């Protein structure tokens, strides 16, 4: 399998089967790491914007034993289904290369976490260590019941999500024991975490994983390896005969005793994962039920992706390479300026612009914002950085993660996470933030409680109003109601989301807010609109001519208080609409731009890629942002 620069022909791997197949399209993001026999590459699935890792292993460069280990990892991963284990999605062989698709843990690993605390010279809180211990022990308890020994537990193989959910990975040298009494004999593993029985060449069982877990917990508590030496021979002696160092007395006696229990030289004296989790020493430092609930909640997205991958239809991967660049101009700058920060994993997948600020969502689902203050405009929190500073360069919004969409109003910003949670920050004038009792300005992202049990699929901001489409297909609007832009039958303002009633039984696919109007696009390509129709920007005005015994009639409709069908567009199947201050534009299912059915003032929109419209913007102010 290969990749191409730019957007060209698809590259497809076909297995030569007559069975129905599902085509999964991927966009290359970046190489996460390289080894002697392959590499791990991050991709974004185009169908749902989720990030996945493809492990590409060149079998031709492996020994027979190494080939067996690589194929064994597939066998083991495919049979496991646990919240704290990297999820397997798919695999195939491609001309001597083994491709394994697995879950992406976007928060690094425990080795990185420890290194960060070493730099700041701060010990990790006991509560957090207990949280990591619970998750790794839960994963080990799960695999041990299947007779699987991981054999390479170490801080670099314990991955994290940005929500601090542990994901145990790298089962390349794991061993499946046929019976509980069977013992493994192969010398494998990383020396620092190697149990005494492996060092001595004795047979061993799942207790070697518990020794390694003890080494990991000791490292979390002390920020240093359990046993250290200048050479492997000395390290082996220390593991078999040596004593570990003391743990800082700030940690409880319970967690110190747990470490001692796992680091018993005699394997029989060590606990199993189940014994550890149910011991009084552990339950006194951790609320097991609460932790179990937290793991379930944090693992929602992974469960969804695994369910999608479990459909019994063969998947054909289509791998593309797409380079995106972000340019900014306007506000006195006539020449587009490239924002160099948005490369590789930070490549932009979506952009938005307010009156004086910009926002970008990257492939790694992070949000960056920056300002372009002109005239009398000011920053009132719309950048989400906890202050009113006007950052001129893109800056990551640290409090946001797993964001798939951003939308900017005049001086406020909304974000939607992959789980449908909604976050808002900036000016709450007109109640635009949907937070009835909130202050006039919000400097950092806050969740909207209204949508906590009703996940949002898409959100769109006008200058002073907002529209949201939920995953259940319901439409809500709030903010300034002037000219009927909320579609609620009046010009009243609303500070909390209000459910919109629409004519007929429409199923909606998109919501689009203009400066003072709103569009709704249905799944079958119909368009409804409400709000100001000045300059006929909603397309409601019509002219009749050529009818017998009838004069030419021109109907000028200034505004609509409720959502009504845009009749001139009913001859098309509309997929996208963009709304500017004085004009609108639409794209039909054949990717044709439609502008002649509306009277446009200062009509501008961007088209690219061989005259086929993929992205369409209507420029609201005197600056622009292009991806």
Burial of 91 from C-beta contacts in 10 A (0-12 / 13-18 / 19+): buried
Report residue 557: phi and psi, to 5°: -105, 115
Please tell me the predicted confidence (pLDDT) of residue 151: 86
**Percent with pLDDT over 70 in the chain:** 80
Backbone angles phi, psi at 236, to 5 degrees: -60, -40
* DSSP code string of 301-351: HHHHHHHHHTSSSEEEEEEE------EEEETTEEEEEE-TT--GGG-EEEE
pLDDT digits (tens, 9 = 90+) for 17-46: 444 445 567 888 888 888 666 788 898 888
pLDDT score of 312 more than 50: no
Q: How large is the average pLDDT for residues 161-171?
A: 89
The more confident residue out of 36 and 243 is 243
Helix (H, G, I), strand (E, B) or coil at 128: helix
* Across 421-441, average pLDDT: 91
pLDDT for residue 29: 86
DSSP track, 4-73: -SSS-S-EE---S--S-EEEEEEEEEEEEEE-SSEEEEEEEETTT--EEEEEEEEGGGS-HHHHHHHHHH
Distances (CA, A) of 370 to 183, 353, 411, 462: 59, 10, 12, 19
Tell me what the mean pLDDT of segment 441-457 comes to: 95
Q: What value does the mean pLDDT of the chain take? A: 83
Question: pLDDT digit string (tens) for 467-480?
Answer: 999 999 999 999 99
Q: Is the pLDDT of residue 596 over 50?
A: no
Whether residue 532 has pLDDT greater than 90: yes
Tokens 């006039």 correspond to: 440
Is residue 617 scored above 60 in pLDDT?
Answer: no
Residue 609 pLDDT exceeds 80: no
DSSP 272-291: PHHHHHHSHHHHTT--HHHH
What's residue 275's pLDDT?
97
Where in the chain is CATH 3.30.200.20?
A: 11-105
Partnered with residue 45 across adjacent β-strands are: 26
Separation CA 217–CA 135 (nearest Å): 12
* Cβ–Cβ < 8 Å for 66, 37: yes
What sign has the CA pseudo-torsion 298, 302, 303, 304? Answer: positive
Two tokens, residue 337: 């300026």
Q: What angle do CA 59, 61, 66 make, to 5 degrees?
A: 65
Confidence of residue 591 (pLDDT cuts 50, 70, 90): low
Model confidence at 428: pLDDT above 60 = yes
Look up tokens 């002649």; give the residue: 596
Residue whose structure tokens are 């587009």 = 336
Q: What is the pLDDT of residue 1?
A: 31
Q: Is the pLDDT of residue 153 over 80?
A: yes
End-to-end CA distance of the chain: 27
pTM of this prediction exceeds 0.75: no
Which CATH number applies to 11-105? Answer: 3.30.200.20
Q: What is the DSSP letter of 570?
A: T
* Contact between residue 621 and residue 330 where contact means Cβ atoms under 8 Å apart: yes
Label residue 627 by pLDDT band (50, 70, 90): low
Angstrom distance (rounded) from CA 13 to CA 88: 19
What pLDDT is stored for residue 69 in this prediction? 72
Q: What is the pLDDT of residue 612?
A: 38
The larger pLDDT score, comparing residue 324 to residue 397, is at 397
Residue 149 and residue 175 in contact, taking contact as beta carbons nearer than 8 Å: yes
Lowest mean pLDDT among 3-17, 224-238, 525-539, 577-591: 3-17
Instruction: Answer yes or no: is pLDDT of 330 > 60.
Output: yes
* pLDDT bucket at 481, cuts 50 / 70 / 90: very high
Residue 15 pLDDT class (50, 70, 90 cuts): very low
Enter the tokens of residue 251: 């940690």
Q: HEC profile for 81-117? A: CCCCECCEEEEEEECCEEEEEEECCCCCEHHHHHHHH
Q: What is the DSSP letter of 139?
A: H
Paired tokens of 513: 């807010």
Handedness of CA 101, 102, 103, 105 (dihedral sign): negative
Band of residue 626 on the pLDDT scale cut at 50, 70, 90 = low
Q: In terms of C-beta density within 10 A (0-12 exposed, 13-18 middle, 19 or more buried), how is residue 376 classed?
A: exposed
What is residue 610's predicted lDDT score, i.e. its pLDDT?
28
Residues of the chain with CATH 1.10.510.10: 110-303
Residue among 572, 594, 584 at smallest CA distance from 526: 572
Q: Which of 75-89, 115-129, 360-374, 604-618 has the highest mean predicted lDDT (pLDDT)?
A: 115-129
Of the candidate CATH numbers 1.10.510.10, 2.170.190.11, 1.10.287.10, 3.40.50.2300, the domain formed by 110-303 belongs to 1.10.510.10
- Confidence label for 446 from pLDDT (cuts 50, 70 and 90): very high
Instruction: With H, G, I as helix, E, B as strand and everything else as coil, classify residue 250.
Output: coil
Q: What is the pLDDT of residue 180?
A: 43
Phi, psi of 268 (to 5 degrees): -65, -25
Question: Span 455-463, mean pLDDT?
Answer: 97
Active site residues: 152
Comparing 598 with 569, which gets the higher pLDDT? Answer: 569
pLDDT at 112 over 70: yes
CB contact set of 49 (below 8 Å; sequence gap of 6+): 349, 365, 404, 418
Residue pair 513/460 in contact (Cβ under 8 Å)? The answer is yes
3-state secondary structure of 399: coil
CA distance 423 to 176: 45
pLDDT at 508: 95
Residue identified by tokens 């314990």 is 158
Instruction: Identify the three-state secondary structure at position 394.
Output: coil
Q: CA 88: distance to chain centroid?
A: 17
- Of 21, 26, 32, 22, which is closest to residue 10 (Cα–Cα)? 26
367: Cβ–Cβ under 8 A, 6 or more apart, which residues? Answer: 359, 360, 361, 384, 396, 397, 400, 403, 406, 415
For residues 215 and 504, give the distance between their C-alpha atoms in angstroms, rounded to a whole number: 64
Residue 357: strand pairing partners = 371
Q: What's the pLDDT score for residue 594?
A: 55
Average pLDDT of 370-386? 89
pLDDT at 286 over 90: yes
pLDDT category, 553, cuts 50, 70, 90? low
Up-side HSE of residue 342: CA atoms within 13 Å toward CB?
30
Contact 512, 536 (CB under 8 A): no
């Amino acid at each position: 399998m290969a990749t191409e620069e730019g957007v060209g022909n698809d590259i497809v791997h076909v297995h030569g089967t007559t069975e129905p197949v599902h085509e999964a399209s991927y966009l290359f993001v970046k190489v996460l790491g390289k080894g002697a026999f392959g590499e791990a590459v991050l991709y974004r699935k185009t169908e749902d914007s989720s990030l996945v890792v493809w492990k590409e292993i060149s079998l031709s460069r492996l020994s027979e034993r190494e080939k067996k280990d690589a194929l064994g990892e597939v066998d083991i991963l495919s049979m496991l289904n646990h919240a704290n284990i990297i999820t397997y999605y798919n695999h195939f062989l491609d001309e001597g290369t083994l491709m394994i698709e697995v879950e992406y843990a976007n928060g690094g690993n425990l080795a990185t976490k420890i290194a960060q605390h070493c730099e700041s010279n701060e010990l990790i809180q006991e509560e957090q260590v207990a949280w990591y211990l619970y998750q790794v022990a839960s994963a080990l308890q799960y695999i041990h019941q299947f007779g699987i020994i991981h054999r390479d537990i170490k801080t670099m193989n314990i991955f994290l999500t940005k929500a601090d959910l542990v994901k145990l990975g790298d089962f390349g040298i794991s061993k499946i024991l046929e019976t509980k009494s069977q013992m493994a004999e192969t010398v494998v593993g990383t020396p620092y975490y190697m149990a005494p029985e492996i060092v001595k060449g004795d047979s061993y069982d799942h207790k070697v994983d518990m020794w390694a877990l003890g080494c990991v917990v000791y490292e979390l508590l002390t920020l240093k390896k359990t046993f250290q030496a200048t050479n492997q021979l000395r390290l082996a002696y220390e593991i078999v005969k040596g004593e570990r160092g003391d743990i800082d007395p700030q940690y409880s006696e319970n967690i110190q005793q747990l470490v001692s229990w796992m680091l018993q030289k005699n394997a029989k004296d060590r606990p199993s994962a189940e014994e550890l989790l149910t011991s009084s020493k552990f339950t006194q430092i951790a609320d097991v039920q609460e932790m179990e609930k937290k793991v379930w909640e944090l693992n929602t997205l992974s469960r969804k992706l695994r369910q999608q991958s479990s459909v019994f239809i063969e998947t054909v991967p289509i791998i593309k390479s797409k380079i995106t660049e972000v340019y900014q101009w306007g506000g006195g700058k006539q020449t587009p300026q490239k924002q160099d920060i948005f490369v590789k994993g930070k490549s932009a997948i979506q952009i938005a612009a307010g009156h004086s600020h910009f926002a970008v969502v990257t492939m790694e689902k992070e949000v960056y914002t920056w300002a372009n203050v002109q005239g009398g405009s000011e920053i009132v929190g719309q950048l989400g950085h906890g202050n009113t500073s006007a950052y001129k360069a893109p800056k990551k919004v640290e409090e946001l993660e797993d964001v798939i969409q951003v939308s900017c109003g005049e001086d406020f910003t909304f974000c939607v996470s992959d789980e449908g949670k909604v976050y808002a920050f900036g000016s709450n004038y007109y109640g635009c933030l949907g937070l009835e009792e909130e202050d006039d300005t919000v400097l950092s992202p806050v969740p909207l409680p209204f949508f906590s049990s009703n996940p949002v699929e898409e959100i769109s901001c006008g200058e002073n109003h907002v529209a949201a489409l939920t995953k259940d297909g319901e439409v809500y609007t709030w903010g300034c109601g002037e000219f009927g832009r909320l579609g609620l039958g009046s010009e009243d303002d609303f500070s909390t989301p209000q459910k919109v009633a629409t004519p007929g039984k429409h199923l909606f696919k998109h919501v689009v807010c203009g400066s003072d109007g709103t569009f709704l696009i249905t799944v079958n390509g119909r368009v409804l609109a409400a709000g100001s129709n000045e300059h006929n920007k909603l397309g409601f005005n019509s002219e009749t001519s050529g009818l017998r015994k009838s004069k030419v009639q021109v109907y000028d409709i200034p505004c609509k208080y409720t959502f009504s069908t845009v009749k001139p567009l009913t001859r098309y199947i509309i997929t996208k609409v963009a709304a500017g201050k004085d004009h609108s534009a639409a794209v039909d299912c054949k990717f044709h731009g439609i502008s002649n059915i509306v009277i446009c003032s200062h009509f501008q929109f961007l088209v690219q890629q061989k005259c086929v419209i993929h992205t369409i913007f209507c420029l609201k102010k005197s600056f622009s942002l292009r991806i």
